[in-house]
Amino acid sequence: MKEGIHPDYKESKVVCACGESFEVKSTTPSIHIDICSQCHPFFTGKQKIVDAEGRVDKFKKKYAKKDK
């Protein structure tokens, strides 16, 4: 490898939206994520709808049954 062309690879803190945090190695000092292994449905077995732009509410409103 050439000397002096690679970025610094140091400890980095990862913070999830659920509050979980852990340390990894990265070139950035901190990383903020939306879903981690503590809150991801595949690992927890619970369904969680992640809606960043209101698409789920828009869908529910559009296809909701209307009482007549």
* Domain ranges across the chain: 10-63
- What pLDDT digit, counting tens, does each position of 7-27 carry? 888 999 999 988 889 999 999
Residue 33's SS3 state is: strand
Q: Would you say the C-alpha torsion 57, 63, 65, 67 has a positive or negative sign? A: positive
10-63: CATH topology is: Rhinovirus 14, subunit 4 (4.10.80)
What pTM was computed for the model?
Answer: 0.54
For residue 5, CA distances in Å to 8, 24, 29, 38, 67 come to 10, 22, 19, 36, 66
Quote the pLDDT of residue 27: 92
